[in-house]
Structure 1
Amino acid sequence: MASMLEFRTPGWNPYAVKYSPYYDSRIAVATAANYGIVGNGRVFCLGLGPQGIQVEKTFDTNDAQYDLAWSEINENQLLVACGDGSIKLYDMNVNDFPIMNFHEHKREAFSVAWSPVTKDTFASSSWDGTVKIWSPARKDSIQTLPVGNCTYSTAYCPSNPSLISAVSTDSHLRLFDLRTPASAQYHLTAKIPVHVPSPAPLPQGPSPPAVPGEILTHDWNKYNHTVIATGGVDRVIRTFDIRNPSGGPASVMMGHEYAVRRLAWSPHASDILVSASYDMTVRLWTDGSTMPAQQASPVKAGIQLGIMNRHTEFATGVDWCLFGVGGWVATVGWDERVLLWDANAMLRGQA
């Protein structure tokens, strides 16, 4: 690849990476010792400058770190989701200790997301089968949304602060609307089976197997706020339009050889997403939504636009830079490496 920056985390295996929403020159990486099996965690706050990637701050936790999220209200603060079930809020101006500790989850806290609209709440999900909604100003959660099985990922709709999504081991994408009465459904408004067979064969190639599989990751499209992409153990990336929860996938992307661990829609183009996998690759895709209609099939076959195969262990995290020319991506893997590279170069065939 024409340009790639690298930072190493010796002794620490990264699980997640996030660009700052305030600066194109700041990223954070959540890591765990011993691949997260046993031992501590360390979050690296990294700055990008003329000398390359430099450590601005580190914070250590007693347990593995599985995810992180920058604060949407304070440029120096970030949340870390930990293996002991806690979520910790750190401030880069305060050494060593978290300024808040949120600890209600009974199992590993596996994802954390800050509300991008109202910016006054964040959500976490856990292996204990719940999603919790929090205010950064109070230690007790505001709400608990029961999923019922290990919940790997939760997220807010980019335009509606009341819509929260979650994916889990039972192969379903759930949507919660906090405006609905908290009846027996606990705000659950849709439960989309990710593994349902396609209503029609794909325009080219075989359809993915209709076998339930753990969903490990999902993300809301930044331009079409009714579209969500999912990925998981069956190696298939699918998109769904939540306006049609029983209609099956809108598009299907196949190519990864092992589970899809993390995916992220581009903040710069409505049809582009990037995925990281246990097959050690990071892949760039179009979901096909901007391409001409493909025969009569209602399901679009997304196309792989490029592959980045510089990681030598599981690729576990990926994020887009919000700023600049619109192509910079950060990826991390269990090879103790953070790689920053230009997806536009991949599109031009220079990867």
Structure 2
Amino acid sequence: MASMLELRTPGFNPCSVKYSPYYDSRLAVAASANYGIVGNGRLFCLGLSAAGVQIEKAFDTNDALYDLAWSEINENQLVVACGDGSIKLFDLGVNDFPVMNFHEHKRETFSVCWNPITKDTFISSSWDGTVKIWSPTRHESLKTLPIGCCTYSTAFSPSNPAIISAVSSDSHIRIFDLRTPVSAKYHLITMIPVHAPPSGPTLPRLADGRTYAGGMPAEILTHDWNKYNDTVIATGGVDRLIRTFDIRNPTGGPLAVMAGHEYAVKRVAWSPHASDILVSASYDMTVRVWSDDSSSVPAAPGTIRTGAEIGLMNRHTEFATGVDWCLFGSGGWVASVGWDERVLLWDAHGLLRR
């Protein structure tokens, strides 16, 4: 690994890290005291310089912070997901206090994501079993999408501002299309049972020859859309496997399965620079870079790709809880955070030379 930069967050355990979509030298970290169980939260806004990683701004909150998303319309603003169910919008030009507060969720807000296309809305998901759509200029939500169970992660499609995904404790991916009538299913158009065996008369085989029969339902903790193939989603969760799915074939089973983590997968993120590369962070204290093998020859009918682990970063000494790619440069810089009160910025180029 070519190089690594480190920043400590004493007294606060990071849960999420995101690079700025505007600057390659800016990123933010959502962190919590006491591992997010009880106590305050702190938002760290970090800058990179010749002197290394430095804290440029910090905001304290009364409750734990679990996630963050940079605004797509204002380079100095970002929202955070709070343990008290609120979402707060901070501005780097305003000291101490949020410029907006949104509070409708009845349980912890666990995920936030800004609309990358129209840039005028963001979404949140909560342990209360809902996804909510917000405008940064209104205190009240624009719409609520019922999930019905703890919803760990929600995201906008990278190519269509009307399509929203969510993953939850009931082992399903849900896809909503806001262009459809709200009646009947609240815009729900697709449900993918992540652990179900694929439909069909025979079970498919993995590339190594083993039969793939799905698995016992388990909580899905994270997911991300492929930035180049806008019908492909990667998931990770309690069963330690990373799977990719094509939302056009909800009962067809996974496109690829990646095994290697020893404990639950907390976060997955597709590379913004390559269609077949993704990174994951796990409770096994490792961050791993994978190829889903989609750039090789097409998979034979009835087979599921077994993606390959192409790199491992094991410098965290507690749960690895967040990971993100830098959008800029030649495609190898990754930020990871863990409960060891550390932010690590590292160059994965060496891992990607395969």
Aligned mates of 2:205, 2:344 — CA distance in 1: 37
Aligned mates of 2:183, 2:298 — CA distance in 1: 41
The DSSP-based 3-state class of the residue aligned with 2:303 is: coil
Is 1:106 paired with 2:92?
no
Aligned mates of 1:237, 1:225 — CA distance in 2: 18
Deviation of the 1:208 alpha carbon: 6.9
Amino acid at match of 1:54: Q
Quote the residue 1:129 is aligned against: 129
Quote the residue 2:206 is aligned against: 202
Deviation of the 1:205 alpha carbon: 6.1
Mean Cα displacement is larger for which, 239-248 or 121-130?
Answer: 239-248
Aligned mates of 1:81, 1:295 — CA distance in 2: 43
Aligned mates of 1:347, 1:112 — CA distance in 2: 29
Deviation of the 1:84 alpha carbon: 0.2
Amino acid at match of 1:219: D
Superposed CA offset, 1:49-88 (max 9, x none): 0110111100000000000000000000000000000000
Aligned mates of 1:208, 1:229 — CA distance in 2: 18
Aligned mates of 1:74, 1:284 — CA distance in 2: 31
The DSSP-based 3-state class of the residue aligned with 1:299 is: strand
Is 1:2 paired with 2:6?
no
Amino acid at match of 1:201: R
The DSSP-based 3-state class of the residue aligned with 2:248 is: coil
Aligned mates of 1:268, 1:68 — CA distance in 2: 22
Aligned mates of 1:185, 1:194 — CA distance in 2: 20
Deviation of the 1:293 alpha carbon: 3.3
Quote the residue 1:190 is aligned against: 190
The DSSP-based 3-state class of the residue aligned with 1:213 is: coil
Mean Cα displacement is larger for which, 152-161 or 294-303?
Answer: 294-303
Deviation of the 1:326 alpha carbon: 0.9
Aligned mates of 1:192, 1:209 — CA distance in 2: 12
Deviation of the 1:298 alpha carbon: 3.2
Superposed CA offset, 1:161-218 (max 9, x none): 0000000000000000001111121111011000012541201164475110000000
How many residue pairs get aligned? The number is: 349
Amino acid at match of 2:196: V
The DSSP-based 3-state class of the residue aligned with 2:35 is: helix
The DSSP-based 3-state class of the residue aligned with 2:205 is: coil
Quote the residue 2:228 is aligned against: 223
2:60·2:96 contact (CA, 8 Å) conserved in 1?
A: yes
Partner of residue 344 from structure 2, selected from 339, 344, 350: 339
Superposed CA offset, 1:315-351 (max 9, x none): 00000000011110000000000000111122348xx
Deviation of the 1:106 alpha carbon: 0.2
The DSSP-based 3-state class of the residue aligned with 2:206 is: coil
Task: Give me the TM-score of the superposition, normalised by structure 2.
Answer: 0.97
Amino acid at match of 1:313: E
Partner of residue 330 from structure 2, selected from 325, 330, 347: 325
Partner of residue 249 from structure 2, selected from 223, 238, 244: 244
Amino acid at match of 1:269: A
Partner of residue 239 from structure 2, selected from 231, 234, 244: 234
1:272·1:286 contact (CA, 8 Å) conserved in 2?
A: yes
Amino acid at match of 1:260: V
Quote the residue 2:218 is aligned against: 213
Aligned mates of 1:228, 1:142 — CA distance in 2: 25
Aligned mates of 2:348, 2:184 — CA distance in 1: 45
Deviation of the 1:297 alpha carbon: 3.8
The DSSP-based 3-state class of the residue aligned with 1:34 is: helix
Partner of residue 263 from structure 1, selected from 248, 259, 268: 268
Aligned mates of 1:2, 1:99 — CA distance in 2: 40
Quote the residue 1:276 is aligned against: 281
The DSSP-based 3-state class of the residue aligned with 2:34 is: helix
2:16·2:321 contact (CA, 8 Å) conserved in 1?
A: yes
Deviation of the 1:243 alpha carbon: 1.0
Amino acid at match of 1:321: C
2:293·2:307 contact (CA, 8 Å) conserved in 1?
A: yes
1:208·1:236 contact (CA, 8 Å) conserved in 2?
A: no
Is 1:309 paired with 2:309?
no
1:263·1:276 contact (CA, 8 Å) conserved in 2?
A: yes
Identity %: 74
Quote the residue 2:67 is aligned against: 67
Partner of residue 286 from structure 1, selected from 274, 280, 291: 291
The DSSP-based 3-state class of the residue aligned with 2:349 is: helix
2:2·2:348 contact (CA, 8 Å) conserved in 1?
A: no
Amino acid at match of 2:208: Q
Q: Alpha carbon RMSD of aligned pairs, Å?
A: 1.1
Quote the residue 2:21 is aligned against: 21
Deviation of the 1:102 alpha carbon: 0.3
Q: Which runs of 5+ in 2 are unaligned?
A: none
Aligned mates of 1:296, 1:125 — CA distance in 2: 36
